[in-house]
């Protein structure tokens, strides 16, 4: 696929399209294709990317040997003046969350024995670390939606959907000649009374899966990580990312996908049970601890749970009631499946939205809500448009935004390149994670934003 062929839609694009047409018009690759210049300054996206990278490394090549070291490498890859506000507190929180994850994951994975799937260049399973093998983490896909569009070859603006036999397409019959000559077919199009050079390009559905895993029975799953203030399970039955990824993965890999593992890490810290001034363990039900941590403390102190005083056993039972086989208040995973009919419906939803997106007469009006102030980095531009400050709009967009690269695979984050240099140079990440977690009480302010795809 050449650079100009990377006209894509993603689940996040579809959500913005339904949320606010004006914002979608600026950001979508089908329209403005804009992204903010420079380093991402939103602490929530920064933190989500840090956790995702820690998981990516730990469950693939494991260069750092510990997800906390990978997290620290991510933090160190940013110059101090490019770190978002709150990054230092977020660092301590991330280390604490990953410390608990290292304890949580082996216990909850015993039943499933999930292992990262490794694939060869043909997307077929292979032996980990064998020649040509790559771990299926941060796994990208591009699904051809079998719709082509006519694009201005100079401005990359979509003119309309391509339909064979369009009378405005001047030299479409030259296609076979150019194809035989192994060249890009050159077309011109009569648009608004002018003949302009164009390209005919396909539309793709694009996404990135955090991790593909295989369970003890050989079944394939998509495993996705989310960080948020609190675990949300109410949306899972209708979550459009889950549906779209399950639909896309089966097409991309040509292999049945058994289900989707939605793993949520709460932006909070699991602590050992508190102790009173007398030295006794506290049975305060409001403290941030877990059944497992209290149980371990009772065993350490009394030799076994059965030997502990009844008040501690009652407290332990209370904590057990708060937890489920899927997890606790700090980390949980849920297992979601979609049947054939649901996957077919997902495809219809995508294509229905795409038809609206390609409508050249669609008016891109805003949808202002109270969430705009935190949800939209383009809010000030939106206000300037409605105020008639057109020159200011152009100035803001020119100074603060730039076109997103069409070649997605060539878009490298600066922090990732710095980490790759650390790996090549053998930089040692010190294990200095002896943090007094009982003295930390950090929760990042939540704006319901998590790292998507």
Q: Assign residue 401 the CATH number of its domain.
A: 3.90.320
Q: Between these two residues, 350 and 173, which has the higher pLDDT value?
A: 350
Strands 220-228 and 259-266: parallel
Task: Evaluate whether 10 touches 453 at the Cβ level (below 8 Å).
Answer: yes
pLDDT above 60 for 172? no
pLDDT above 60 for 76? yes
| Number of structural domains in the chain | 3
Tell me how far apart the alpha carbons of residues 299 and 353 are, in angstroms, rounded to a whole number.
57
Tell how many helices (H) and how many strands (E) occur in the chain.
14, 13
Task: Determine, yes or no, domain membership for 357.
Answer: yes
Please state, for a pLDDT cut of 90, what percent of the chain lies above it. Answer: 68
Q: Last residue of a domain, which of 204, 237, 255? A: 204
Q: How far is CA 294 from CA 44, 95, 325, in A?
A: 31, 21, 17
Q: Which two tokens stand for residue 181?
A: 């000559």
Same domain assignment for residues 344 and 369:
yes
Task: Determine, yes or no, domain membership for 433.
Answer: yes
Same domain assignment for residues 313 and 279:
yes
Same domain assignment for residues 210 and 346:
yes
Quick one: 182 exposed, middle or buried, by C-beta within 10 A (0-12, 13-18, 19+)?
A: exposed
- The pLDDT of residue 186 is 73
The secondary element (H helix, E strand) that includes residue 307 is none
7-18 pLDDT tens trace: 999 999 999 999
Other beta carbons within 10 Å of 141: 17
* Mean predicted lDDT score pLDDT of the chain: 88
Res. 183 pLDDT band, cuts 50 70 90: low
Same domain assignment for residues 166 and 235:
no
Please state, for a pLDDT cut of 70, what percent of the chain lies above it. Answer: 89
Domain range spanning residue 183? 141-204
Q: Last residue of a domain, which of 204, 235, 252? A: 204
Per DSSP, the three-state class of 444 is coil
Strand ranges, E, within 347-430? 401-403
Report, as an integer, the average pLDDT of 277-281. 91
Report, as an integer, the average pLDDT of 248-275. 95
211-222 pLDDT tens trace: 999 999 999 999
221-246 pLDDT tens trace: 999 999 988 888 999 999 999 999 99
Task: Determine, yes or no, domain membership for 387.
Answer: yes
Res. 450 pLDDT band, cuts 50 70 90: very low
Per DSSP, the three-state class of 149 is strand
Res. 1 pLDDT band, cuts 50 70 90: very low
Task: Determine, yes or no, domain membership for 381.
Answer: yes
pLDDT above 60 for 448? no
Same domain assignment for residues 145 and 131:
no
Of 81-95, 97-111, 166-180, 353-367, least confident by mean pLDDT is 166-180
Q: Last residue of a domain, which of 204, 232, 258? A: 204
Tell me how far apart the alpha carbons of residues 59 and 213 are, in angstroms, rounded to a whole number.
10
Same domain assignment for residues 318 and 400:
no
- The pLDDT of residue 346 is 97
- The pLDDT of residue 453 is 44
Res. 377 pLDDT band, cuts 50 70 90: confident
Report, as an integer, the average pLDDT of 54-82. 95
Strand ranges, E, within 18-119? 34-36, 115-116, 118-119
Range 362-377 burial, b when 16+ CB lie within 10 A, else e: eeeebeeeeebeebbe
User: What radius of gyration do the chain's Cα atoms show?
Assistant: 26
Res. 383 pLDDT band, cuts 50 70 90: very high
Task: Determine, yes or no, domain membership for 42.
Answer: yes
Strands 115-116 and 194-214: antiparallel
**Whose CA is closest to 323, among 291, 369, 371, 294?**
291
Tell me how far apart the alpha carbons of residues 115 and 216 are, in angstroms, rounded to a whole number.
8
Task: Determine, yes or no, domain membership for 447.
Answer: no
Question: Of the spans 47-51, 166-170, 184-188, 428-432, which averages the highest pLDDT?
Answer: 47-51
**Whose CA is closest to 48, among 450, 431, 436?**
450
Report, as an integer, the average pLDDT of 290-312. 92
Range 95-123 burial, b when 16+ CB lie within 10 A, else e: bbbbbbbeebbeebeeebebebbbbeeeb
- The pLDDT of residue 181 is 42
pLDDT above 70 for 177? no
33: phi then psi, degrees, rounded to nearest 5: 60, 40
Res. 424 pLDDT band, cuts 50 70 90: very high
Tell me how far apart the alpha carbons of residues 244 and 248 are, in angstroms, rounded to a whole number.
6
Same domain assignment for residues 133 and 149:
no
Same domain assignment for residues 35 and 96:
yes
Task: Evaluate whether 271 touches 438 at the Cβ level (below 8 Å).
Answer: yes
- The pLDDT of residue 432 is 82
pLDDT above 50 for 142? yes
Q: Which two tokens stand for residue 436?
A: 């007094």
28-37 pLDDT tens trace: 999 999 988 8
Of 40-44, 182-186, 414-418, least confident by mean pLDDT is 182-186
3-state percent breakdown (helix, strand, coil) of the chain, nearest 5: 40, 20, 40
pLDDT above 60 for 150? yes
Same domain assignment for residues 354 and 281:
no
Report, as an integer, the average pLDDT of 358-384. 91
Report, as an integer, the average pLDDT of 47-76. 96
Other beta carbons within 10 Å of 67: 25
Report, as an integer, the average pLDDT of 60-73. 96
Same domain assignment for residues 43 and 63:
yes
pLDDT above 70 for 184? no
pLDDT above 70 for 333? yes
Task: Determine, yes or no, domain membership for 444.
Answer: no
Q: Which two tokens stand for residue 261?
A: 């593992």
Same domain assignment for residues 166 and 289:
no
Q: Is the pTM of this model over 0.85?
A: yes
- The pLDDT of residue 375 is 81
Task: Evaluate whether 440 touches 269 at the Cβ level (below 8 Å).
Answer: yes
Quick one: 166 exposed, middle or buried, by C-beta within 10 A (0-12, 13-18, 19+)?
A: middle
Q: Which two tokens stand for residue 198?
A: 């164009």
Same domain assignment for residues 114 and 148:
no
């Amino acid at each position: 696929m050449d650079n100009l062929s990377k006209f894509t839609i993603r689940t996040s694009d579809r959500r913005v399209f339904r949320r606010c047409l004006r914002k979608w018009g600026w950001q979508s690759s089908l329209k403005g294709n804009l992204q903010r210049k420079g380093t991402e300054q939103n602490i929530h996206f920064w933190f989500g990317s840090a956790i995702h990278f820690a998981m990516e490394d730990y469950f693939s090549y494991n260069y750092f040997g510990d997800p906390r070291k990978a997290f620290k490498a991510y933090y160190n890859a940013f110059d101090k003046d490019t770190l978002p506000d709150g990054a230092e507190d977020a660092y301590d929180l991330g280390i604490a969350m990953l410390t608990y994850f290292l304890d949580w994951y082996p216990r909850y994975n015993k039943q499933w024995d999930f292992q990262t799937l490794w694939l060869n260049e043909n997307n077929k399973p292979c032996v980990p670390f064998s020649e040509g093998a790559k771990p299926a983490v941060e796994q990208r896909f591009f699904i051809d939606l079998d719709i082509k569009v006519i694009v201005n070859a100079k401005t990359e603006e979509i003119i309309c959907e391509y339909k064979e036999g369009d009378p405005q397409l001047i030299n479409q019959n030259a296609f076979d000649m150019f194809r035989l000559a192994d060249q890009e077919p050159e077309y011109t199009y009569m648009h608004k009374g002018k003949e302009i050079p164009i390209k005919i390009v396909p539309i793709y559905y694009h996404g990135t899966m955090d991790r593909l895993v295989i369970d003890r029975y050989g079944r394939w799953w998509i495993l996705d990580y989310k960080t948020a203030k609190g675990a949300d399970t109410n949306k899972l039955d209708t979550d459009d990312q889950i549906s779209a990824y399950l639909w896309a993965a089966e097409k991309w890999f040509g292999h049945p996908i058994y289900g989707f593992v939605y793993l949520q890490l709460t932006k909070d810290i699991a602590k050992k049970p508190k102790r009173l001034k007398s030295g006794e363990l506290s049975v305060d039900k409001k403290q941030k601890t877990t059944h497992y941590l209290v149980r371990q403390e009772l065993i350490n102190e009394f030799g076994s749970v059965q030997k502990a005083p009844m008040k501690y056993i009652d407290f332990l039972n209370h904590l057990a009631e708060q937890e489920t086989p899927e997890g606790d208040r700090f980390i949980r995973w849920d297992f979601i499946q979609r049947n054939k009919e649901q996957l077919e419906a997902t495809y219809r939803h995508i294509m229905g939205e795409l038809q609206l997106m390609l409508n050249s007469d669609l008016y891109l009006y805003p949808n202002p809500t109270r969430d705009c102030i935190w949800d939209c980095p383009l809010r000030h531009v939106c206000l300037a448009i409605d105020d008639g400050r057109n020159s200011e709009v152009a100035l803001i967009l020119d100074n603060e935004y730039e076109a997103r690269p069409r070649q997605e695979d060539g878009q490298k984050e600066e922090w990732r390149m710095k980490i790759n240099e650390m790996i090549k140079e053998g930089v040692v990440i010190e294990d200095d994670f002896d943090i007094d977690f009982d003295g930390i009480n950090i929760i990042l302010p939540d704006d319901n934003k998590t790292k998507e795809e």
